[in-house]
Chains A and B, each alone.
Chain A
Amino acid sequence: MKSLLKLIILFLLTVTFSGCVKILTDDLKAEKTKLVINSVISPDSVFTVNVSKTANIFDEETLDNLPFINDAEVKVFENGNFLFNLDSKDNGYYRKDYYPLPGKKYTVEVYHKDFDPVTSGAVIPGVVKVKKFDTISLEQIDQYTSALKSGFLFDDPPGEDNYYMLQGEITYLDDSGAFYNTFLDFRVPDVDENLYAVSNGDKLLWSDKLIDGHEIKIEFYFFDGYIETGKMLKSIKDGNAIFKFYFSNISKDYFLYLKTERLYYETANTDPFMEPVIIHSNVKNGYGIFGAMNTDTTNISYDFNGKKFFGKGGGK
């Protein structure tokens, strides 16, 4: 009986539930290698496009194996009229000392002898200004975490689909006298399903889908890890911090790209049964993103008095 029992246990453990893993292939091939465009144009920056190519999923990712294309022809059109060719720089960068204009549609066409040509376009949206920044306060956002809460007001232009992005930067002085500069790590209130925090929380994204043409107040949280003991909070309390907020009206494609990219990084390698995220692209015959944005930048410093934290609002 004992030997039978052992036999059964051995059987169950070794044979019955043994799954096996085998290598199916190391040769998954896409139909063809394609060009990739990465660019976000803005009236505040010179016209810049990065061109690279797709790599096989099994290719090693090393600096010796960079996918940049440095010998492509990159043509730029403004409202359908040829404007110029971009000049090639290192690492796949193509630039021209030209600042794109709001309201104009820019199209890029990239040609290379080894690849199908790719094209993409975007319209630079108009700037939307911040009306007023809110006060700042320290709030408990969950059992262990406090965060600084603030917000701002703006008027959404009526009758058009708008997509927005907020980024924030803080420059502060610590006890040793050193200055630090870091992007704010945003947190979004759970109740607001139209607000997305992306790219490790350094961007806030939202659309005016449900709030078109209204005065909109966006509330947000940001913090420095365990903020109550953090250097950032201390410097804010001591009046040694300056914030810079970048409020951008962005193109729809750029919004969708950032949104799907956020999902991609959140879900990658988390569940073998989960369906992978398809990253949004507006590049015809290729991949990547050709986005556009127009940014209103606000410098702001908050005053803190005693245990209560009050801020003074302000626009640009």
Chain B
Amino acid sequence: MKRFTVTLVFLLVFFTVFSQKHTVSGFVYDASNGEPLLGANVYDVNSYEGTSTNSYGFYSLTLEKGKHSLRVSYVGFTPFDFTLDLNKDTILNIELKPSVELDEVEIKSDAITQKVKNTQMSVNELPMKDLKKIPVFFGETDIIKAIQLMPGVQSGSEGSSGLYVRGGGPDENLILLDGVPVYNVNHLFGFFSVFNADAINSVSLIKGGFPARYGGRLSSVMDIRMKEGNMKEYHGNVSAGLISAKAMVEGPIKKDVSSFIFTIRRTYIDLLSIPVQAIVNRKNRRYHEESYGGYHFYDLNAKINYKFSEKNRLYLSAYMGNDKAYGKDKYDFDSISDKSKFRLRWGNITTSLRWNHLYNKKLFSNTRFSYSRYHFLVGEAYESTDHANYENFAYEYGSGIDDMAMSTDFDYIPVPTHYIKFGVSYVYHTFTPGVSVYSTKQISGDTVSIDTTFGSGKIHASEIDAYIEDDFSIGKRFKMNLGVHASGFYVKNKFYYSLQPRSSLRFLITEKLSVKASYVKMQQYIHLLSNSSIGLPTDLWLPVTDTIKPMKSQQAALGFMYNLNNKFEVSLEGYYKWMKDLIEYKPGASYLMTDSGWEKMITTGKGWDYGTEIMIKKTSGKLTGWIGYTLSWAWRKFEEVSPEKYPYRYDRRNDISVVVTYKLNDKIDMGATWVFGNGYPVTLPFDKYLALRNYNEFLTGDQFTWNELPYLDNVEKRNNYRMPNYHRLDLGVNFHKKRKHGERTWSIGIYNAYFRQNPFFLYIDYDYDNYNPEKPPKKVLKQVSLFPGIPYFSYSFKW
């Protein structure tokens, strides 16, 4: 490592001091709204020396002294070509204009070429521009559901917003919103994600070959960037769908200096149900009964940014979202009353203050202070009065995680052949693994009163990370990204640390075909304890402890990227991932048992995942979309669960996604998606046998005089049965019309168009013959399916 650093410094000094070079640097913006463009290409059209803008639109390109023909390009924008006489270091901010469609083929060919040439592999970028053409669930555009259509990503159970990347669990994904981790991305038990697409600028998912700047999770990094807000003029958007409505407004606070964006979204199932509940309660009043209940979620995104100067810019962004379900029952008659209520609430808050600073033409920094919080609460209360007797009871269970973090990251671009990133970060975690508050009071002769709190107390932990990486070229064909990520975690007087090498290599076979390889090591200090297959908010975030070690993984990948006729992006990748110190609930354990200590409920084991992913993507023209295919295996071995290795809960052998969007004209566009996947494995008993219930009964043989024999359902091994295959077709059409002050869009479509009954879960139950009550019930395997064909519509208006 030391030798590597010395060599690096030597090379930098050499290039900087002894060559006659100058640097052109600056930012690339969208001319229509002043937002920075992330990943725009800036290059010399003759030598092909070039660079890309970073996450804040900054670029720096150092070239030989003299005249250069430069081009700045970005997908969806008209390229900007110009000649620059580079006699001194130059600052040049560039604004690109959104393109007309005819230009797009060439620009997108540029983008494909860039992907062929990048060292980064195993990455999927979500085409935000086409996102609204993809048919959606309940009319709600959802970036997580769109990401689920990418190869290597499984969705978990029907309709959920789960992310299972290359066989990894949902806690192994680092989901960053403007650089801040979001711990629970689920609304409505996972059927929607917390991200409002109107507020999102870009989404990329990295599944392997992780650059050194990312750490803390084993399986993926999902980097979501919010829009900055229009610097030029005010714009907005309102829309209403089947179950929710949302609004977005953005604009300059001071033109070209400061801007804001604000979005809000709320479901209205609860509001729509109020009249129904009122009618029911009016009828029930004769029985002296009343019941109310409801559910809603909401979320808010807000962001302000301010350009103090060309060298300093400040961003303040925030997200807040909550889900709430509640119910009340009341009975009141003749000095007897009963009241009960329950509530279930969960949500995230994230805030981030970022400061971009340009130290010089080659050194850019971003410093961030952030806060992230996820909390869950379930509670119930009961109150009963019977003449002189009174009794009440209340119970609450809460859990959560709070993070306070600061970090600083640097981009250093000494020469076009080197792009160096380095930085440090510190996170102070506060875990609340599960606390129950119980109180009761009785007045009936003797008065009894209890008010107590029990469960696991708060756990505080510190996490520190540092990294350095260099993306560098060796000649025209070789390019590498080498780096190292160091991390440490301190909890309960125990310190864990790790040094994780990261490497990616690209070899350019031709201008249109490259082969890429990567090897990374990852370590994760926090775990999500989950004993359900749907995204329940009860899932617990927990740190490592004395006995529970950090989870570790190594992943190697090899792939090809090909630019086919400048229209199609074709990628083929194979991967192998080893994991150890994974955690799992012991058989029969449940989150409700956390009062006696969660550490006792879990066991550790290992896993290994491998597979192949193919993706053919077309991003230009009227017809766009992709076909993705994944062939994969995911295995787990936990000694306390099963002595043999067994397929992971989300092991899916074959997975196919077909996504097609078509723009008929300026007024109509449409989309279709079809997905297919082999059934997930579940654990089912195939047979049963007699138990040895009681030794004394065994000796006398008494047990077999019972009418009901003590049978044990026999499970030979975990996940021994495959659910039926999953497949689904979604269709959607958008109708646009220009109005005086903006454009309105009607969207209609159907989720699960051919009404496929896909498995949600299976269980063994009795089947009763209603026409023949005398006939004894028969045991059968039943399948529960959700959403057998759901039409949707929504209306939106943007200006």
Does B767 lie at the interface of the complex (its beta carbon under 8 Å from any beta carbon of A)? yes
Does B780 lie at the interface of the complex (its beta carbon under 8 Å from any beta carbon of A)? yes
Of listed B692, B762, B781, B782, residue having the most chain A CB within 10 A: B692
Please indicate the chain B residues that have their CB under 8 angstroms from the CB of A18 in the complex: 788
Please indicate the chain B residues that have their CB under 8 angstroms from the CB of A143 in the complex: 440, 448, 450
Of listed B242, B683, B779, residue having the most chain A CB within 10 A: B779
Can you report 25 residue pairs joining A to B where beta carbons are below 8 Å apart? Answer: A16-B242, A19-B787, A21-B782, A23-B767, A24-B724, A24-B781, A26-B780, A30-B714, A48-B698, A53-B689, A54-B687, A54-B688, A55-B688, A57-B684, A57-B685, A57-B688, A59-B688, A89-B701, A193-B597, A270-B590, A273-B531, A275-B641, A276-B684, A279-B714, A291-B692
- Shortest CB distance A210–B (Å): 13
Stretch from B271-279, B311-319, B566-574 contacting the other chain: B271-279
Please indicate the chain B residues that have their CB under 8 angstroms from the CB of A199 in the complex: 693-694
A275 close to B690 (CB less than 8 A): no
Quick one: closest B residue to A293, CB to CB? B695
Quick one: closest B residue to A35, CB to CB? B689
Does B269 lie at the interface of the complex (its beta carbon under 8 Å from any beta carbon of A)? yes
B587 close to A38 (CB less than 8 A): no
B692 close to A23 (CB less than 8 A): no
- What separation, in Å, do the CA atoms of A257 and B692 have in the docked complex? 9
B698 close to A38 (CB less than 8 A): yes
- A28-B243 contact in complex given A58-B780, A264-B712, A273-B534, C-beta closer than 8 Å: no
- Shortest CB distance B441–A (Å): 12
- A287-B532 contact in complex given A40-B695, A273-B761, A275-B718, C-beta closer than 8 Å: no
Contact of A287 among B597, B714, B763, B787 (CB under 8 A): B714
A33 close to B687 (CB less than 8 A): yes
- What separation, in Å, do the CA atoms of A58 and B684 have in the docked complex? 12
Please indicate the chain A residues that have their CB under 8 angstroms from the CB of B786 in the complex: 19
A6-46, CB < 8 A from B: 8-9, 11-13, 15-16, 18-26, 28-30, 33-34, 36, 38-40, 45
- What separation, in Å, do the CA atoms of A213 and B284 have in the docked complex? 68
- A30-B533 contact in complex given A23-B767, A24-B762, C-beta closer than 8 Å: no
Quick one: closest A residue to B531, CB to CB? A274
A57 close to B686 (CB less than 8 A): yes
B718 close to A91 (CB less than 8 A): no
- Shortest CB distance B444–A (Å): 14
A276 close to B713 (CB less than 8 A): yes
Does B726 lie at the interface of the complex (its beta carbon under 8 Å from any beta carbon of A)? no
- What separation, in Å, do the CA atoms of A33 and B687 have in the docked complex? 8
Quick one: closest B residue to A191, CB to CB? B596
Does B453 lie at the interface of the complex (its beta carbon under 8 Å from any beta carbon of A)? no
- Shortest CB distance A55–B (Å): 6
Quick one: closest A residue to B584, CB to CB? A275
Contact of B781 among A25, A53, A287 (CB under 8 A): A25
Contact of A263 among B587, B707, B716, B776 (CB under 8 A): B587
Mark A residues whose CB is within 8 Å of B: 5, 8-9, 11-13, 15-16, 18-26, 28-30, 33-34, 36, 38-40, 45, 48, 50, 52-61, 63, 66-68, 89-93, 143, 190, 193, 199, 202, 257, 260-261, 263-264, 266-268, 270-279, 287-289, 291
Does B476 lie at the interface of the complex (its beta carbon under 8 Å from any beta carbon of A)? no
Please indicate the chain B residues that have their CB under 8 angstroms from the CB of A39 in the complex: 692, 698
- What separation, in Å, do the CA atoms of A110 and B782 have in the docked complex? 36
- What separation, in Å, do the CA atoms of A270 and B585 have in the docked complex? 15
A261 close to B532 (CB less than 8 A): no
B783 close to A22 (CB less than 8 A): yes
What 0/1 readout, one digit per residue, does chain B (384-411) give for beta carbons within 8 Å of chain A?
A: 0000000000000000000000000000
Contact of A288 among B138, B273, B692, B709 (CB under 8 A): B692
Of listed B138, B686, B762, B767, residue having the most chain A CB within 10 A: B686
A273 close to B533 (CB less than 8 A): yes
- What separation, in Å, do the CA atoms of A20 and B784 have in the docked complex? 6
A26 close to B778 (CB less than 8 A): yes
- What separation, in Å, do the CA atoms of A50 and B699 have in the docked complex? 10
Q: What bracket does the count of chain B residues touching chain A fall in?
A: 35 or more
**Across the A-B interface, the 7 shortest Cβ-Cβ residue pairs:** A30-B686, A263-B588, A267-B588, A273-B532, A38-B692, A54-B687, A58-B779
How many A-B residue pairs lie within 8 Å, measured between CB atoms?
202
Quick one: closest A residue to B191, CB to CB? A17
Contact of B689 among A28, A52, A66 (CB under 8 A): A52
Quick one: closest B residue to A32, CB to CB? B687
Please indicate the chain B residues that have their CB under 8 angstroms from the CB of A34 in the complex: 687
Contact of A20 among B269, B531, B757, B764 (CB under 8 A): B757
- What separation, in Å, do the CA atoms of A45 and B763 have in the docked complex? 41
- Shortest CB distance B601–A (Å): 10
- What separation, in Å, do the CA atoms of A165 and B698 have in the docked complex? 17
Contact of B704 among A40, A54, A66 (CB under 8 A): A66
- What separation, in Å, do the CA atoms of A263 and B760 have in the docked complex? 26
Does B754 lie at the interface of the complex (its beta carbon under 8 Å from any beta carbon of A)? no
Quick one: closest A residue to B789, CB to CB? A15
B243 close to A12 (CB less than 8 A): yes
A22 close to B686 (CB less than 8 A): no
B273 close to A36 (CB less than 8 A): no
Contact of B588 among A45, A57, A92, A274 (CB under 8 A): A274
- What separation, in Å, do the CA atoms of A11 and B482 have in the docked complex? 55
A54 close to B588 (CB less than 8 A): no
Contact of A40 among B276, B531, B692 (CB under 8 A): B692
- What separation, in Å, do the CA atoms of A16 and B295 have in the docked complex? 15
Does B711 lie at the interface of the complex (its beta carbon under 8 Å from any beta carbon of A)? yes
Does B437 lie at the interface of the complex (its beta carbon under 8 Å from any beta carbon of A)? no
B778 close to A67 (CB less than 8 A): no
Please indicate the chain A residues that have their CB under 8 angstroms from the CB of B585 in the complex: 275
B717 close to A278 (CB less than 8 A): yes
Does B11 lie at the interface of the complex (its beta carbon under 8 Å from any beta carbon of A)? no
B701 close to A61 (CB less than 8 A): no
A58 close to B689 (CB less than 8 A): no
Quick one: closest A residue to B686, CB to CB? A30
- What separation, in Å, do the CA atoms of A54 and B699 have in the docked complex? 21
A9 close to B790 (CB less than 8 A): no
- Shortest CB distance B482–A (Å): 42
Does B623 lie at the interface of the complex (its beta carbon under 8 Å from any beta carbon of A)? no
Contact of B764 among A48, A57, A67 (CB under 8 A): A57
A91 close to B704 (CB less than 8 A): yes
Quick one: closest A residue to B792, CB to CB? A16
B785 close to A22 (CB less than 8 A): yes
A25 close to B780 (CB less than 8 A): yes
Please indicate the chain A residues that have their CB under 8 angstroms from the CB of B790 in the complex: 15-16
- A22-B711 contact in complex given A40-B692, A274-B588, C-beta closer than 8 Å: no
A29 close to B690 (CB less than 8 A): no
Does B642 lie at the interface of the complex (its beta carbon under 8 Å from any beta carbon of A)? yes
Please indicate the chain A residues that have their CB under 8 angstroms from the CB of B242 in the complex: 8, 11-12, 16
- A287-B689 contact in complex given A19-B784, A23-B767, A273-B533, C-beta closer than 8 Å: yes
What 0/1 readout, one digit per residue, does chain B (430-446) give for beta carbons within 8 Å of chain A?
A: 00000000001000000
B687 close to A30 (CB less than 8 A): yes
B269 close to A26 (CB less than 8 A): no
Contact of A28 among B686, B759, B760, B763 (CB under 8 A): B686
- What separation, in Å, do the CA atoms of A268 and B243 have in the docked complex? 37
Please indicate the chain A residues that have their CB under 8 angstroms from the CB of B666 in the complex: none
- Shortest CB distance B529–A (Å): 13
Does B715 lie at the interface of the complex (its beta carbon under 8 Å from any beta carbon of A)? yes
B668-705, CB < 8 A from A: 683-695, 698-699, 701, 704
Does B546 lie at the interface of the complex (its beta carbon under 8 Å from any beta carbon of A)? no
Contact of B712 among A20, A24, A89, A279 (CB under 8 A): A279
Known pairs A22-B785, A48-B698, A261-B712 / 18 extra A-B pairs, C-beta < 8 Å: A5-B275, A16-B138, A24-B780, A24-B781, A25-B780, A28-B721, A45-B699, A55-B711, A56-B687, A57-B684, A60-B779, A63-B707, A202-B694, A263-B587, A271-B532, A276-B684, A278-B715, A288-B692
Please indicate the chain B residues that have their CB under 8 angstroms from the CB of A30 in the complex: 686-687, 714, 716
Please indicate the chain B residues that have their CB under 8 angstroms from the CB of A20 in the complex: 757, 784-785, 788
What 0/1 readout, one digit per residue, does chain B (565-597) give for beta carbons within 8 Å of chain A?
A: 000000000000000000001011010000011
Of listed B687, B688, B786, B791, residue having the most chain A CB within 10 A: B687
